[in-house]
Copies of this chain bind each other. A is one copy, B any other.
Amino acid sequence: MKDFIKVMKALSEPNRVKIVKMLQQKLMCVCEMQAALGITQPSVSKHLKILEDAGLVDSKKDGLWVNYDLTNGAVSPYAAALLGNLRHWLEQDREIGELVEELPNIRRENICKK
């Protein structure tokens, strides 16, 4: 029950859902997400922690960066199922559409390391 609730709660927040939808397109670091979502860096980090804790997202350090990706769902069957559904869900959503369209223009080289 607790694990189930964790996954549901994690996906009950628009910015977190957007993160999942973005990660379907490509690996991303925190600052890229921050730029895409237009919220502060600590806020992104907290959302990512919640998603990671629910078994929806994985992180791997790459030097100074931390790359986030969707999990394969091995940890939580609930996460696995929802990630599967979210592959096609919200594809028609206007807000998500605009976000994904902008993704190719958001590259860490242009954002960080100023």
Give residues in A with beta carbon < 8 Å to B: 1, 4-5, 8-9, 11-14, 17, 77-78, 81, 85, 89-90, 93, 95-96
Contact = CB atoms under 8 A, between A and B. Distances in A.
B90 A4 contact: yes
Contacts of A5: 12-14, 17
B85 A1 contact: no
Nearest to A13: B5
A77 B86 CA distance: 12
A85 B83 CA distance: 13
Contacts of A93: 1
- 4 closest A-B pairs by CB: A8-B12, A9-B12, A8-B11, A1-B93
